[in-house]
Amino acid sequence: MPVPFCKFSPKAVGSVFPGVITTTQSFDREKQREYTLSVTATDQAQEPLIGVCQVTVLIADVNDNDPKFENSRYQFAEPLDFETTKFFTLIVRAQNVAMTPLASFTTVCVNVTDVNDNVPFFVSSNYEVSVPEGADVGTSVVQVLATDLDSGLHGEVHYLILKDASEDYQFFTIEPETGIISTRASFDREKRASYLIEVQSQDSSESARPGVHGQPNTDTAYVRIFVSDVNDNAPAFPRSVYEVSVDEDREVGSPVVTATAEDEDEGANAKLRYQITSGNARGVFDVEPDVGTVFIAQPLDYEQEQHYELRLVASDGKWENHTLIIINVVNKNDEAPVFTQNEYQGSVLEELTDLPVLVLKAVHDVY
């Protein structure tokens, strides 16, 4: 068989002709470990004799090869998380065991693919907001916010209002993209002072979380909407007329009547001040401005005035209303009789019997 790697060089050493086989190129044991040569010896006689022998050449190993990487499988010791690390570069070193070890390096790039494993959580699970009563339909009330750590559709959040038994949901609307909640009605605090709705956030692809089959990830939050007061109610007295009788000898400071007005608003919008605006001749009466109690401010005098008609006004600072307070002064016989003269003179006839001697006139209650 032809061996292109060797040459055979016969050389005469005395009467012996040894053959020397030398290599014509280098060998690679990793490609072929041994070669078999057939060596033929021929003498130079007229009729030459031929000798044949087989030579097997074993290629000895030397540490001449770096370790080679092939398609390998790498296992991660911990679960990957796109949200933590999106891209890994691994430098892998392989080294053989030898007196003079040889090493190879390769770079493994790992792109982590995002899955929808994060819930769009609301930044607050309870919102408390207020809207003034009487505000126009379409007034924005609050913007809710949910954040989702995923990328793309996995993290794109939409909002909706859940329909519940209370039916408060029907008074509000939410923009799916922005989470802005607006009114669909105008409210009256005096009828109803608060509403409660439940809002939901959802991402925009199927969840990769266990147990959520084919659905997006969701979260919910409550939004309590308080209707804040506006001063839209005037004070109102329960009666348009109060009529009372007062003895003329009642002490100054005595209460005569309390006329309390009602105001359906709250707080400052229902804080009333009372005032007597007419009918109060000589300032005989006054009113406690916070409570509406009319009291005697000057001594009453039946002889001077027997009848008062006071106009009592209650005001909340914006609206007012009034009532009529009729006070009848009752005459009291509380003055000692006083003689009209200090000295009385009269003459008596001696014949008269059973006739008045003198008429003494006294007048009651001069003052």
Instruction: Build a one-symbol-per-residue string for 57-96: x at contacts with Ca ion by CB under 5 A, - elsewhere.
Output: -------------------------x--------------
For Ca ion, how many residues bind (rule: CB under 5 A)?
18
Decide: is 117 part of the binding site for Ca ion (CB under 5 A): yes
Decide: is 201 part of the binding site for Ca ion (CB under 5 A): no
Sheet containing strand 255-258, strands side by side:
255-258, 293-296, 285-287
Decide: is 219 part of the binding site for Ca ion (CB under 5 A): no
Decide: is 323 part of the binding site for Ca ion (CB under 5 A): no
Using the rule CB under 5 A, give the single segment among 31-39, 269-277, 281-289, 334-342 that binds Ca ion.
269-277
- Choose between 248 and 263: whose C-beta lies nearer to Ca ion: 263
Decide: is 202 part of the binding site for Ca ion (CB under 5 A): no
CB of 320 to Ca ion, least distance (A): 10
- Choose between 116 and 183: whose C-beta lies nearer to Ca ion: 116
Decide: is 198 part of the binding site for Ca ion (CB under 5 A): no
- Choose between 198 and 232: whose C-beta lies nearer to Ca ion: 232
Decide: is 168 part of the binding site for Ca ion (CB under 5 A): no
CB of 229 to Ca ion, least distance (A): 5
Q: Which residues contact 353 (CB under 8 A, 6 or more apart)?
A: none
Decide: is 229 part of the binding site for Ca ion (CB under 5 A): yes
> Of the candidates 142, 187, 200, 203, which one interacts with Ca ion according to CB under 5 A?
203
Decide: is 118 part of the binding site for Ca ion (CB under 5 A): yes
- Choose between 82 and 187: whose C-beta lies nearer to Ca ion: 82
d(CA 223, CA 206): 27
Between β-strands 241-247 and 320-330, what pairing exists: parallel, antiparallel or unpaired? Answer: parallel
CB of 155 to Ca ion, least distance (A): 5
> Of the candidates 127, 131, 141, 154, which one interacts with Ca ion according to CB under 5 A?
154
> Of the candidates 263, 302, 314, 327, which one interacts with Ca ion according to CB under 5 A?
263
> Of the candidates 168, 219, 248, 265, which one interacts with Ca ion according to CB under 5 A?
265
Report residue 70: phi and psi, to 5°. -115, -175
Cβ atoms within 10 Å of 134's Cβ, excluding its own: 13
CB of 292 to Ca ion, least distance (A): 15
Using the rule CB under 5 A, give the single segment among 85-93, 179-187, 312-320, 345-353 that binds Ca ion.
312-320
- Choose between 154 and 276: whose C-beta lies nearer to Ca ion: 154
- Choose between 153 and 363: whose C-beta lies nearer to Ca ion: 153
Using the rule CB under 5 A, give the single segment among 51-59, 61-69, 239-247, 262-270 that binds Ca ion.
262-270
Tokens read off for 23: 């290599």
SS (H, E, C) the chain: CCCCCEEEEECCECCECCEEEEECCCCCCCCCCEEEEEEEEECCCCCCCEEEEEEEEECCCCCCCCCCCCCCCCCCCCCCCCCCCCEEEEEEEEECCCCCCCEEEEEEEEECCCCCCCCCEECCCEEEEEEECCCCCCCEEEECCEECCCCHHHHCCEEEEECCCCCHHHHEEECCCCCEEEECCCCCCCCCCEEEEEEEEECCCCCCCCCCCCCCCEEEEEEEEEEECCCCCCCECCCCEEEEEEECCCCCCCEEEECCCECCCCHHHHCCEEEEEECCHHHCEEECCCCCEEEECCCCCCCCCCEEEEEEEEECCCCEEEEEEEEEEECCCCCCCEECCCCCCCCCCCCCCCCCCCCCCEECCCC
> Of the candidates 201, 269, 280, 315, which one interacts with Ca ion according to CB under 5 A?
269
Decide: is 143 part of the binding site for Ca ion (CB under 5 A): no
Give the binding site for Ca ion (CB under 5 A): 82, 114, 116-118, 148, 150, 154, 203, 217, 229, 231-233, 263, 265, 269, 316
